[in-house]
Amino acid sequence: MTSSNPVLKDTTFQNVRELSGARMTAEGAVMKTVALLFLVICAGAYTWSQVTRGENVGPWMIAGFVGGLISCLATVFKPRWSPISAPIYALCQGLAMGGLSAIFQKMYPGIVLNAIGLTLGVLLIMLASYRLGWLRATPAFTRGVVCATAAIALFYLVTMVLRLFGMQTPMLHDGGLLSIGISLVVVCVAALNLILDFSVIEEGAAQGAPIYMEWYAAFGLVVTLLWLYVEILRLLSKLQKR
């Protein structure tokens, strides 16, 4: 079993087994995911309010992205820190997501509420599909999602390098059919990553991982959910351009 999410993978829980102490449960990971999402919303509400007042939130967004990256790396390399570093990550990402969402909301009124609703809807559908056994992380399924995610990451990296050299990639940003199709594919891949994350978390609970790994597992799910939200936001913005 493996996950294309670099945070949650098959070896995540194998290296943190302890002989004593409270154990991780899938239910505990879900509750901590809710707690982290609450922190994201609270921090996001602040930068959102600043944008609506006409304030410059650039420094807050930069601080959020940088702080999120640092806390993300700290969590990945030191899972024991996750009860502290995961909430810090959520707060930092909330600052960045709140500002980004408010900017999109100004350009396309109503888009943020739709994006949030679709993200939660996808989460519930994926969770129900997993619990009912409709979608399972079989070896073939896992290989397909991992390869697709790696291809997307490589594609984004190449386009970023091209932009550094002044070469634009309108197929990623305009409202054309190709651009919309690319966004649809990325959204689907992000959604399928949730199935892999659910599977890895369930395996971690079955292996008796220490309880602090609930925070780590929740952190991994939030990483996927924020990626899914941003991609849905981009997709809706492209549809608005048509």
Would you write out the chain's pLDDT as a tens digit for each of its 242 residues?
445 565 665 556 555 555 456 889 999 999 999 999 999 999 999 999 999 888 888 999 999 999 999 999 999 999 999 999 999 999 999 999 999 999 999 999 999 999 999 999 999 999 999 999 999 999 999 999 999 999 999 988 888 888 888 777 766 667 788 889 999 999 999 999 999 999 989 988 888 889 999 999 999 999 999 999 999 999 999 998 76
pLDDT of residue 1: 46
In a domain, residue 13? The reply is no
Q: How many domains are there within the chain?
A: 1
Residue 11 lies in a domain: no
**Other CB atoms within 10 Å distance of the CB of residue 166:** 6
- In whole angstroms, give the CA distance from residue 78 to residue 74: 6
> Is 15 inside a domain boundary?
no
Q: Answer whether residue 220 is part of any domain.
A: yes
Domain that holds residue 185: 26-241
Q: Is 136 helix (H, G, I), strand (E, B) or coil?
A: coil
Residue 55 located in a structural domain: yes
Residue 31 domain flag: yes
What per-residue confidence (pLDDT) applies to 211?
A: 93
For residue 165, what pLDDT is reported? 81
Measured in whole angstroms, the distance separating CA 163 from the mean position of its chain's CA atoms is 24
Q: Say what the pLDDT of residue 16 is.
A: 57
